Chains A and B, each alone.
Chain A
């Protein structure tokens, strides 16, 4: 877990999963279905595509709404979550997932203006 926190974690959506296999990423999406075992759930991104998130331990709470997941992308394109973070819907301004997706696209289209890698190193 400590390892993942030191590394830059690019924000991605489903279309970018295949480009980040075996890399640490940050994924925001809306919880769709939780597997009965509680160790897996699906999330939908701002484009309407779905990804699968796997957890080390089963969920101890009800998960719904928008969640931010940090983890590694597996060979199969699933996110092996190290940690997750629920964005509360009852407080503040509601999170606009489509707008977030637009911002994601900007970040990836203009990497020269968003040098996150540089910021995290040394």
Chain B
């Protein structure tokens, strides 16, 4: 029987050190690193004492993963480094260790007791000497200290010491309710929004929101004003935090798929403390809906989905109704139901998405739309995960590699016309009127091929704020200065922007439309600044541009909506995008339509 280096534990724990310590491994536990590599925490014994503050350096992770280090094996600690924590405790990082006797050759040697270095640290898990209120202090050391002294229990039932306050136990998220205010939860942040500001008659404010999850469930959390300053930069997605004393209220389920009757608001008394040891907190809570079932869900439902990204389209840019430019990308998701659905990504998510290698994509809180039948959109409150480390993802990968990749799949999102992209909804201008597009609650979008028959050149230009991204009309102060109300500033200059009123026509009907900057510039073939200059200096050249632009045919993508001004309702049509006619695509579409009409 190998003899252990009695006294080595004490020496290592108090900083004296010990070379070539022969120790028995009592227990080894994996700690999930979240976004980094896993770590293994080890409890070693020298026959007299045990110490659990040993960490395996990551280069030795293989020893744990290949089961070279198992309870009861006897080892020689060849190289280590001892780190001191803020509270004075030590962690021994194992840099090199040799197993000299395998586990089955020896039982537990001696009857070691946990080492405590004489201060108020007894065998119980409460390390901090002074009595303090439950978890309230923003003392980060507590979290770390707690980790080290914790027993090797698989679950963390109450990681906090029982102090006189008593209310410092960790409770599950599922148990939170508005009637209890003194609680602490330990949860992982799965989604964090950006800071949004508002400004209305009652004042201004800012907020951010996030979704958190633990073993029992999930909940949505919002912080306003001061809480934004306190917590926003502290909180990182994927990390685990102890949160306490938020206020609970009934949830507004409209915006999220988070399953909880309540939602939380952080207030002046709330605390958020990072938790170092997070292995037991699940990464995310998702209730995936099979793609085939999406047909049975109502439009506008918020769902979680997971699938293989079978194909992905190019990034495109569009102009939104508030006249902002936004990036967009669509991808096709397929799962084991054999069905496909198109998912639309926006903004940065669209720009950064890499669909190469047909990754597994999971989206929490995606919005289901009845566009094209059924399709999904990742809104700002959705969370997208690529190749997530969850069992569903592995199942999908296995299925796809074996059989899924060969399947064509049936798409729930209709692709209209040969080569027609999803977003296109071809209508003749008569259809737009007869089908009452735009009369519903929401705006309708359609594509058409039409010819410009009239352009209104009067009042097509306005003077706008020169600040980038601000397009508000400025007020001419008549003293050489121009005032922007939105920016609340005065400028000595302005930039010209276009709002062009046009009448377009096809074989069936005509339509008045409004074109903003980008589409107007595309139609006129000149930029706004030049046109503005020309209007002031060379009227005939200015007119000529409009003459040339007239009677050209384009593919228009328009938005129509019923708008009401003073008891009068009118359909307003705006051009979102204008493109030259692709005759080949157009011909293919016509042939297809003719054939399908002929078949009936």
Q: Which of A16-24, A61-69, A98-106 contacts B (4 or more CB under 8 A)?
A: A98-106
| Interface pair A109/B598, CB less than 8 Å apart | yes
| Interface pair B587/A103, CB less than 8 Å apart | yes
| Interface pair B591/A103, CB less than 8 Å apart | yes
Q: Mark A60-102, 1 if CB is under 8 A from B, else 0.
A: 0000000000000000000000000000000001001001001
| Interface pair B598/A99, CB less than 8 Å apart | no
| Interface pair B594/A110, CB less than 8 Å apart | yes
| Interface pair A99/B587, CB less than 8 Å apart | yes
Cβ–Cβ < 8 Å partners of A109 in chain B: 598
Cβ–Cβ < 8 Å partners of A106 in chain B: 591, 594-595
Cβ–Cβ < 8 Å partners of B591 in chain A: 99, 102-103, 106
Cβ–Cβ < 8 Å partners of A96 in chain B: 584, 587
Task: Give the docked Cα–Cα distance between A109 and B597 (Å).
Answer: 13
Cβ–Cβ < 8 Å partners of A99 in chain B: 584, 587-588, 591
- Is B583 an interface residue when CB atoms closer than 8 A count as contact? yes
Task: Give the docked Cα–Cα distance between A110 and B590 (Å).
Answer: 14
Q: Is the contact region of chain B dominated by helix, strand, or loop, or is it mixed?
A: helix
Task: Give the docked Cα–Cα distance between A99 and B584 (Å).
Answer: 8
Q: Mark B551-583, 1 if CB is under 8 A from A, else 0.
A: 000000000000000000000000000000001
Q: Is the contact region of chain A dominated by helix, strand, or loop, or is it mixed?
A: helix
Known: A102-B591, A106-B591. A93 touches B598 (CB 8 A): no
Task: Give the docked Cα–Cα distance between A38 and B14 (Å).
Answer: 103
User: What's the minimum C-beta distance from B251 to chain A, rounded to whole angstroms?
Assistant: 55
| Interface pair A110/B598, CB less than 8 Å apart | yes
Cβ–Cβ < 8 Å partners of A103 in chain B: 587, 591
Task: Give the docked Cα–Cα distance between A118 and B335 (Å).
Answer: 56
Cβ–Cβ < 8 Å partners of B594 in chain A: 106, 110
User: What's the minimum C-beta distance from A32 to chain B, rounded to whole angstroms?
Assistant: 24
User: What's the minimum C-beta distance from A107 to chain B, rounded to whole angstroms?
Assistant: 10
Q: Mark B330-353, 1 if CB is under 8 A from A, else 0.
A: 000000000000000000000000
User: What's the minimum C-beta distance from B567 to chain A, rounded to whole angstroms?
Assistant: 46
Task: Give the docked Cα–Cα distance between A106 and B583 (Å).
Answer: 17
Closest to A99 in B: B587
Task: Give the docked Cα–Cα distance between A110 and B598 (Å).
Answer: 9
User: What's the minimum C-beta distance from A34 to chain B, rounded to whole angstroms?
Assistant: 29
Closest to B587 in A: A99
Known: A106-B594, A109-B598, A110-B598. A93 touches B587 (CB 8 A): no
User: What's the minimum C-beta distance from A19 to chain B, rounded to whole angstroms?
Assistant: 21
Cβ–Cβ < 8 Å partners of A93 in chain B: 583-584
Task: Give the docked Cα–Cα distance between A99 and B591 (Å).
Answer: 9
Task: Give the docked Cα–Cα distance between A90 and B595 (Å).
Answer: 32
Cβ–Cβ < 8 Å partners of B583 in chain A: 93
Cβ–Cβ < 8 Å partners of B595 in chain A: 106
Task: Give the docked Cα–Cα distance between A96 and B418 (Å).
Answer: 15
Closest to A102 in B: B591
User: What's the minimum C-beta distance from B589 to chain A, rounded to whole angstroms?
Assistant: 11
Task: Give the docked Cα–Cα distance between A106 and B594 (Å).
Answer: 8
Closest to B595 in A: A106
Task: Give the docked Cα–Cα distance between A109 and B595 (Å).
Answer: 10
Cβ–Cβ < 8 Å partners of A110 in chain B: 594, 598
Task: Give the docked Cα–Cα distance between A103 and B584 (Å).
Answer: 11
Which residues of A are in contact with B by a Cβ distance under 8 Å?
93, 96, 99, 102-103, 106, 109-110
**Other 12 A-B pairs with CB < 8 A, given A102-B591, A106-B594, A110-B598:** A93-B583, A93-B584, A96-B584, A96-B587, A99-B584, A99-B587, A99-B591, A102-B587, A103-B587, A103-B591, A106-B591, A109-B598
User: Could you jot down 19 A-B contacts, CB within 8 Å?
Assistant: A93-B583, A93-B584, A96-B584, A96-B587, A99-B584, A99-B587, A99-B588, A99-B591, A102-B587, A102-B588, A102-B591, A103-B587, A103-B591, A106-B591, A106-B594, A106-B595, A109-B598, A110-B594, A110-B598
7 smallest beta-carbon distances between A and B, as pairs: A102-B591, A106-B594, A96-B584, A99-B587, A106-B591, A99-B584, A103-B587
